[in-house]
Amino acid sequence: MRKRKCVLIGGVFLCIVLFAGCGRSEKVEIEPSSDVVSADVVPAEEVPAEEVPSGEPDDKISSEMVRNAYMDFLDGAGTIKTAECFREDDADGNIDYLLYGEYTLSELQEAIAEAEGGESTVQYAFWGYPDERELMFLCFKNRDSLALHWTGIIRYEDDGPVLAGSYEAGYRSEATLYDTGYLVYQGSGGAGDYETQLIRIDDKGDQHVERSLRELWSSYAVSWIYEIDPEGNGPEGDYSALSTDFMMRTCVTPDKKYLCVDNSDNSTSEAALIEELSELGVSEISREKMDELFDLSEYTGSEIVWNVANRQETTVAEEPVSVSYGDESELSGADDQQICILDESEYRVIVKLDTTEEIRDLKIYRISMDYIEDEICFWGEELYEKPEMVPGTPFYIQLSFPGDSPCTGISYVDSSNETRYFTLMMSGYDGSLVLDEEKPFR
């Protein structure tokens, strides 16, 4: 299960995409936002008596029957089947990590927990077009804030509920469902890759990606070439000299690709990258035009609130140690036993640790990530040790966050006498600080 996290946190340049047939935008057939049906007019006298509409709906499956089937699944008394696109995905390497078949809620949770790196809390919501069968949306919120969150769309067919498709968009992702029939999915594929997907849901529960928006920094901008090149080839140029400050936004619609450079480094590498992207059919536009494309307000109405499945009784205890940003003024009032200085460059930031209980043997590490036997692990070099830390007395670390992988770790002994190990990261999603628990450092 750490394999997926390695891909995300390690900043591997392969993009986070929607999954084969069910979510990958390159395979989605975009339809008009409203269906237009035409038919030849047949005179009434030519219609056989048995075919004259009786005023009764053709759909004999009641809305109550649909809702009950969904609730049976949530209560563990029913199952859902996966759509044919999952069978196609299995033949394509099982990219979505969910095999074609039939699942109870517990079995679906187990499959997703194995793929996404941890247990999830199940949330659900109902929505549908007028006079159409109601759809159910499942949202598996992973209890590990850095791991993937999974969203599935379930429709009711004549023989029962069917999982029509599923989505995930990187770590710390968030799915927002609106009463207009749009699902907005946001997530981060790394410290320099933030993505927003605008997905239209039709009356059958099929999904149509109408806009894919990205904020890409430095090397992540280069890796975008893998996604938009129809041949799947990598970059032709050498862009290693591209500044870490370089940032561009991109927008992909069903028929167009756009980019806008928001933070230029005015280098030859930048110019060459823009030229290569242009050759791949990407148009450079102004910041003002990109702002308009990033504005999704015309598609969003009222947000639909997710419900927590009744069978989910487990609560997650808060960790005793939390992190937040500090500032220079706070350091002036702290003694030497409250400060660990790891970096004094212009890129330094101050991280403040607080605790709600007494902890022992607080240690700070320089860490490096490795991949051994299909599992992510970290090597740790101890840099600092503090015998104890008590509530009300914060501890400060002055450091920087270079690259895409965690490079600083901490450990401590909690009140239950357990030694806990964490990586300290800055989120590519919103710049917040995150402690992610890991196995003991090597």
Domain boundary residue, one of 241, 274, 308: 308
290 with 326, same domain: the answer is no
**Non-local CB neighbours of 213 within 8 Å, separated by 6+ positions:** 195, 196, 197, 198, 249, 250, 251, 293, 294
With 0-12 CB in 10 A as exposed, 13-18 as middle and 19+ as buried, what is 240? exposed
Domain boundary residue, one of 308, 339, 357: 308
* pLDDT-based confidence at residue 52 (cuts at 50, 70, 90): very low
93-97 long-range contacts, Cβ below 8 Å, gap at least 24? 95/19, 95/20, 95/24, 96/19, 96/20, 96/22, 96/23, 96/166
302 with 328, same domain: the answer is no
pLDDT of residue 329: 82
Half-sphere exposure of 271 (CA within 13 A, CB side): 3
* Phi/psi-derived region of residue 360, left when phi > 0, alpha when psi is between -120 and 50, beta in every other case: beta
Residue 332 within any structural domain of the chain: yes
State how far the Cα of 177 lies from the Cα of 125, in Å rounded to an integer.
Answer: 9
Residue 17 within any structural domain of the chain: yes
Average model confidence (pLDDT) across the chain: 79
295 with 390, same domain: the answer is no
112 with 155, same domain: the answer is yes
82 with 197, same domain: the answer is yes
Distance of CA 97 to the CA centre of its chain: 15
> Residue ranges of the alpha helices (H) in 166-324?
219-228, 268-279, 287-294
State how far the Cα of 110 lies from the Cα of 120, in Å rounded to an integer.
Answer: 9
Distance of CA 378 to the CA centre of its chain: 23
pLDDT of residue 355: 93
Residue 227 within any structural domain of the chain: no
Residue 239 within any structural domain of the chain: no
183 with 291, same domain: the answer is yes
Residue 386 within any structural domain of the chain: yes
Q: Is 89 a residue whose pLDDT tops 90?
A: no
State how far the Cα of 338 lies from the Cα of 389, in Å rounded to an integer.
Answer: 9
State how far the Cα of 145 lies from the Cα of 335, in Å rounded to an integer.
Answer: 33
Tell me the pTM: 0.60
Q: Look up residue 347 and give its amino acid.
A: Y
376-380 long-range contacts, Cβ below 8 Å, gap at least 24? 376/2, 376/3, 376/5, 376/6, 376/9, 376/10, 377/438, 377/439, 377/442, 378/406, 378/409, 378/421, 378/423, 378/438, 378/441, 378/442, 379/441, 379/442, 380/409, 380/421, 380/441, 380/442
Q: Look up residue 426 and give its amino acid.
A: M
138 with 176, same domain: the answer is yes
14 with 90, same domain: the answer is yes
Q: Which residues pair with 138 in a beta bridge?
A: 124, 152
In the chain, the number of structural domains is: 2
Q: What percent of the chain has pLDDT over 70?
A: 79
With 0-12 CB in 10 A as exposed, 13-18 as middle and 19+ as buried, what is 343? middle
**Lowest-pLDDT range, 15-24, 125-134, 178-187, 392-401?**
15-24
Q: Is 208 a residue whose pLDDT tops 60?
A: yes
428 with 303, same domain: the answer is no
Average pLDDT, integer, range 414-436:
81
Residue 220 within any structural domain of the chain: no
Residue 56 within any structural domain of the chain: no
Higher pLDDT, 377 or 184: 184
pLDDT of residue 148: 55
In this structure, the chain runs to a length of 442
State how far the Cα of 205 lies from the Cα of 192, in Å rounded to an integer.
Answer: 32
Phi and psi at residue 219, in whole multiples of 5°? -65, -25
pLDDT of residue 65: 92
Range of the domain at 399: 321-438
b/e map of 426-436 (b: 16 or more CB within 10 Å)? bbbbeeebbbb
Domain boundary residue, one of 278, 308, 338: 308
100 with 87: CB under 8 angstroms? yes
357 with 379, same domain: the answer is yes
Highest mean pLDDT pick, 4-18, 59-73, 351-365? 351-365
Short-list 138, 114, 85, CA closest to 4: 114
163 with 152: CB under 8 angstroms? yes
**Lowest-pLDDT range, 37-46, 55-64, 116-125, 393-402?**
37-46
Residue 131 within any structural domain of the chain: yes
Q: Look up residue 223 and give its amino acid.
A: S
